[in-house]
Amino acid sequence: MKITEKTKTRVFALALIGVLIMTTLLGGCSKKAEETSSAPEPPKTFTFPLTGTETTDESLTQRRPLIAKIENGKSSDVRPQYGVSFADVVYETVTEGGITRLDCIYQSEIPEEVGNIRSARNLDVTLVPQYRGLLFDSGASAPTIAELRAGLGDTRIEHGAAGDALYRRVDFRKAPHDVFVSLAKAYEYAETKRQLETSFTDFKGLSFGVNNKEITTTDATDIHVLVGGQNDDWHFDSATKEYLLDEDGTPLTDAANEDKQISVSNVIVMWVAYHHGNAQNSLGSDEPGADMNAGGDVSIFRDGKRIDGTWATDGLTPPRFYDANGVEIKLAKGKSWIMCPNVGTPVEATAPVPETDADADADTAE
């Protein structure tokens, strides 16, 4: 068969079209591959051990917890306190005279300064090591000082030792309610003056997550607890999933955080067996002591629900919580407030009564 010039031209045109099609297809694939490869990967996140929340800065999750001993008396010389709302975990424990005192544990957020700082107690000997924390306080009774030195050593950085390198007396509070500590300077002081570690890569925190469906829960949105002589009332806000705190009928606020009312994701009632006679304060009042490693009963409130169980710790890590069947109870992500009333103290927890059809009909009739 004779190939004419016309046929050659047609074949050449078809070949050229094929080349153009292939070039377009390859170019599109190359562009798509380039777009895919250039898409940024989501940043890696790390979990704060005491809140379960996340950050992209791993070093923040490894900071050593700072524990400030803050008073919680009922007078205007004491309240509102400064910096309590920034704490990841707060322990409210009983002191002499029925008042309570706070161990505010800071790790995910480190405020510039907190107060009012007051004296340490016997229970700090067993509480502080659970969090591998550094304790900041304004002193202690002689017997308690001996216990603190033996149990905590240089990890207790008290007012008398650190002085104005960390502490100051403010002019808007009367003594002894006027001592504040600079947490912003705490890590540098611990490293340079005490040669202490200020970060850990193996720190074990609290346990967070969704609880096993087998765990028994009851509705509980309003909680009342008498901690010593302190009336604590919590109300669950379903919009924020947090509990708001009133003490003695008044919202407890934070003067360092625009007078924000204290709110947390977890309210924990952890019963403690207090003992007496180990020490007396400067006024001669008997100081209650407690072993914070002893374990006992617990009620946990999260997401508007109550879960009863027990608490336990090995003394070197924060407490774990278990239901009646030994299943671990996990906390909601966020901050926690742990009230420590004496063993046998009752807890009142209620929930709104569901509206019935009769109630709805009555409302319509009105």
pLDDT tens digits for range 249-264: 999 999 999 999 999 9
Burial letters 179-210, b for 16+ CB under 10 A, else e: bbbbbeebbebbeeebebebeeeebebbebee
pLDDT digits (tens, 9 = 90+) for 349-365: 998 766 655 555 555 45
Angstrom CA distances, 76 to 79, 172, 208, stand at 5, 11, 36
Identify which has the larger pLDDT, 14 or 180: 180
| pLDDT, average across residues 213-228 | 94
Three-point CA angle 353, 358, 363, nearest 5°: 90
pLDDT of residue 327: 96
Q: What percent of the chain has pLDDT over 90?
A: 77
pLDDT of residue 257: 96
pLDDT digits (tens, 9 = 90+) for 279-311: 555 555 678 899 999 999 999 999 999 999 999
Give one DSSP letter per residue of 311-342, joined into a string.
EE--SSS--EEE-TTSPBPPBPSS-EEEEEPB
Least confident of 9-23, 81-95, 267-281, 293-307: 9-23
pLDDT at residue 194 tops 90: yes
Q: Whole-prediction pTM value?
A: 0.86
What H or E segment, with its residue span, contains residue 308?
strand 305-312
Query: What helix, strand, coil percent values describe the chain, rounded to 5?
Result: 25, 35, 40
Task: Judge contact between 329 and 323, C-beta under 8 A.
Answer: yes
CA distance 181 to 160: 12
pLDDT of residue 277: 62
pLDDT digits (tens, 9 = 90+) for 12-49: 444 444 544 454 444 554 555 455 556 788 889 999 99
Third-level CATH fold of 54-350:
YerB-like fold (3.50.90)
CA distance 14 to 354: 78
pLDDT of residue 26: 46
Give the pairing of strands 286-290 and 230-237. Answer: unpaired
| Closest listed residue to residue 66, CA positions, set 165, 141, 166, 160 | 166
What H or E segment, with its residue span, contains residue 119?
none
CA distance 265 to 285: 35
pLDDT of residue 76: 83
Mean pLDDT (the chain) is: 88
CA distance 113 to 10: 86
CA distance 102 to 13: 87
pLDDT digits (tens, 9 = 90+) for 327-338: 999 999 999 999
Half-sphere exposure of 106 (CA within 13 A, CB side): 25
Task: Judge contact between 137 and 117, C-beta under 8 A.
Answer: yes
- What are the tokens at 287? 């100081």
pLDDT of residue 284: 54
